[in-house]
Chain A
Amino acid sequence: MMDQTPLLRIKGLTLHFDEGRTKALNGVDLEVRAGEFVAIVGPSGSGKSSLLNVIGTLDQPSSGEISFRAQSYAELKDSSLFRRAHIGFVFQSFHLIPTLSALDNVIVATIGCDGATGEHRARATELLTQLGLRDRLGHFPGKLSGGERQRVAIARALINRPEMVLADEPTGSLDSANAAQVLDMLTGIVKQQGLTLIMVTHDASVSARADRIIHMRDGRIEHEVTA
């Protein structure tokens, strides 16, 4: 049973660049419930990734209100700590660190966190195993396929037990077979752990799995479709 309380509340959100000449977001209102899978779709430049960046505190909005569990982003003392505690990111181009093994790429997200190194290692191993990479722990990103790299990135996003996963075109760099496998694994784990998933995608087959599809255009939400 999905929690009906909004996890994330966004009201009148704008994001302007170049002293207001570029309007990436232009008055977005959105509520996301805990445990919901929301797909954000729309043409290039419609503001999908910008919205994801603001939700993930990677960008600061120009105006508007955004809150997570009723905690306003404007009141956050340290956005890094907030990200670490609540948010996991999965990017289109994986963004793995080339000099670290698959296991270390996951553990690197725990550096500076509380808890013993052994615990982090055990959890990273468990996640990678769950994602079918048990025999790839010591492999470097250069020796992994695109699908495997994205699975490492998913494990990294989940290592700190976030409540919300933000995925920006996670299957955009994968062939259809790998894309389907990665998507199955991501949605499977998210559902199993009861996490909220907000995913930017161009792929209709991906958005079709979402609980709700948000259509964006010109920095605004054009309309939304509930499954």
Chain B
Amino acid sequence: MNLFRFALDNLYRRPARTMLTVSAIALGIAAVVALTSIAWGFEASWQRANDARGTDLIVTRMASENTMPSPFRAEQVQQVVSQLPHVQEVVGLLSEMLTVSQDAPPMFVFGWVHGSYLWEHLKLQEGRWPNKSNEQVVVIGTLAGEMLHKKVGDTVEIEGRIFPVVGIFESPALVENGALILTLDQAQQVTDKPGKVNVLNIKVDSDTGEADLARIKEQVKTSLPGFMAITSGELVSKNAVVRISKAMSNATILIAGLVGALVVFNTMLMSINERTREIGILLALGWQRATIMKLIVSEAMILSLVGGVLGILLGVGIAWGLEHIELMRGKIDAIFSVPFFFAVLGLSVVLGVSGGAYPAFKASRLLPSSALRQE
């Protein structure tokens, strides 16, 4: 028998109440885990796609807040950017979310400049790449192929046009694996945006340092009003969807924290009210007030830690489930990490301590004689 065993025994006394409290905490923690991992995963997935392409800077409209910034005419901007020092290659990219099959949710369709460096990070699994910029063919990611039930030799219909699938590729980025890629010319035609791109990808030479990149950014800003050059990380973190999902995850942390602490507070307050006489006995036996506080806070922490662990498992399950529902496949890639799980357990500890502090204090201040008289 020690303090921890005694705390466990006390919780076991009211199994239904203990289970309900743990469940409430677990649900809150699960919401935190699922939303946060998805928010981070969404951000990381786009970042990974941009990084994998080897893009150093991205030129986009200043007001764009989307992962697919609003399109603009590329020609003039591209000319200006190509003249800047250290710029090795400037290629346009057009992307759209389009319905390509009645049986599958909308999917990303990218248009990339034929023969540009953008294609280099993809691994062809089957078939071939487009042969020329005006060839009306499509290559699809492995996940997209799976979702559309398409293979090399099949066709897909994009905006009323039929495109033969000539290749299936694998990308390190989930968003590309779940996407279809056309040449930029074909993408501009099919989306009726001739000459337009969402972003210009810049590849700089190997001598370029941080200061040079900063200078390029400044030059784009001054020479191309309404445009800016940013890194892929900046583009992603500027993204409205990423910001909203992060804000939602932060709000969930706050709400789950408050609700969790209130649930623990309520449970522990009920518990000490029921056990007033027992606390009086412990005080009469010579338990110090600090030991009474330790007991109550230990009970609160056991509740919140068990809730935290179950919440992590449930949250991982929810995130996994969301990743695999048809509508979300290929679009989110939840990220989990050991430090994140420790942070969540830390949040659980905070819930336990903050929810148990006042009941513990109240219990420790009981007068032994009046507590013993309590029925």
User: Which residues of A line the B interface, CB within 8 A?
Assistant: 53, 56, 58-59, 78, 80-85, 87, 89, 91, 95, 97, 99-100, 103-104, 107-109, 111-112, 117, 121, 156, 160
* Chain B residue at minimum C-beta to C-beta distance from A120: B1
Instruction: Give the complex CA separation of A82 and B284 in angstroms.
Output: 10
A107 in contact with B1 (CB, 8 Å): yes
Cβ of B282 under 8 Å from chain A: yes
Residue B286 contacts which of A84, A99, A103 (CB distance < 8 angstroms)? Answer: A84
* Chain B residue at minimum C-beta to C-beta distance from A112: B291
| Leading 9 A-B pairs by shortest Cβ distance | A84-B286, A83-B286, A58-B369, A112-B291, A109-B285, A107-B1, A58-B368, A80-B288, A104-B1
Residue B288 contacts which of A53, A78, A156, A160 (CB distance < 8 angstroms)? Answer: A78
* Chain A residue at minimum C-beta to C-beta distance from B283: A80
Complex contacts, B367 vs chain A, CB 8 Å = 58-59
* Chain A residue at minimum C-beta to C-beta distance from B289: A80
B1 in contact with A111 (CB, 8 Å): yes
Residue B277 contacts which of A95, A103, A121 (CB distance < 8 angstroms)? Answer: A95
Instruction: Give the complex CA separation of A89 and B287 in angstroms.
Output: 13
Instruction: Give the complex CA separation of A156 and B277 in angstroms.
Output: 17
> Which residues between 1 and 52 of chain B lie within 8 Å of chain A, taking CB atoms?
1-3, 6, 9-10, 12-13
CB distance from A82 to the nearest CB of B (A): 8
Instruction: Give the complex CA separation of A53 and B372 in angstroms.
Output: 11
A91 in contact with B372 (CB, 8 Å): yes
Instruction: Give the complex CA separation of A87 and B285 in angstroms.
Output: 8
Instruction: Give the complex CA separation of A129 and B235 in angstroms.
Output: 76
Instruction: Give the complex CA separation of A97 and B1 in angstroms.
Output: 13
Task: Knowing A97-B278, A97-B281, say if A112 contacts B369 (CB, 8 Å).
Answer: no
Instruction: Give the complex CA separation of A119 and B288 in angstroms.
Output: 21
Complex contacts, A160 vs chain B, CB 8 Å = 286
B285 in contact with A83 (CB, 8 Å): yes
Residue B284 contacts which of A81, A89, A97 (CB distance < 8 angstroms)? Answer: A89
We find that the number of chain B residues with CB closer than 8 angstroms to chain A is 24
A111 in contact with B284 (CB, 8 Å): no
User: Which residues of B line the A interface, CB within 8 A?
Assistant: 1-3, 6, 9-10, 12-13, 277-278, 281-289, 291, 367-369, 372
Complex contacts, A82 vs chain B, CB 8 Å = 286
Task: Knowing A53-B369, A95-B372, say if A58 contacts B284 (CB, 8 Å).
Answer: yes
A108 in contact with B286 (CB, 8 Å): no
CB distance from A210 to the nearest CB of B (A): 23
Complex contacts, B287 vs chain A, CB 8 Å = 80, 84, 111-112
* Chain B residue at minimum C-beta to C-beta distance from A168: B372
CB distance from B145 to the nearest CB of A (A): 60
Complex contacts, A58 vs chain B, CB 8 Å = 283-284, 367-369, 372
CB distance from A92 to the nearest CB of B (A): 11
CB distance from A3 to the nearest CB of B (A): 24
* Chain B residue at minimum C-beta to C-beta distance from A82: B286
Residue B285 contacts which of A53, A84, A100, A121 (CB distance < 8 angstroms)? Answer: A84
Instruction: Give the complex CA separation of A160 and B12 in angstroms.
Output: 27
Given A58-B369, A83-B285, A84-B288, 13 extra CB contacts under 8 A:
A56-B284, A58-B368, A59-B369, A80-B289, A82-B286, A84-B285, A87-B286, A100-B9, A104-B1, A108-B282, A112-B291, A121-B1, A156-B285
Complex contacts, B285 vs chain A, CB 8 Å = 83-84, 89, 108-109, 156
Instruction: Give the complex CA separation of A103 and B278 in angstroms.
Output: 17
CB distance from A73 to the nearest CB of B (A): 14
B288 in contact with A112 (CB, 8 Å): yes
Complex contacts, A103 vs chain B, CB 8 Å = 1
Query: Can you report 13 residue pairs joining A to B where beta carbons are below 8 Å apart?
Result: A58-B372, A59-B367, A59-B369, A80-B286, A84-B286, A84-B287, A95-B281, A95-B284, A97-B278, A99-B10, A100-B6, A108-B285, A112-B287
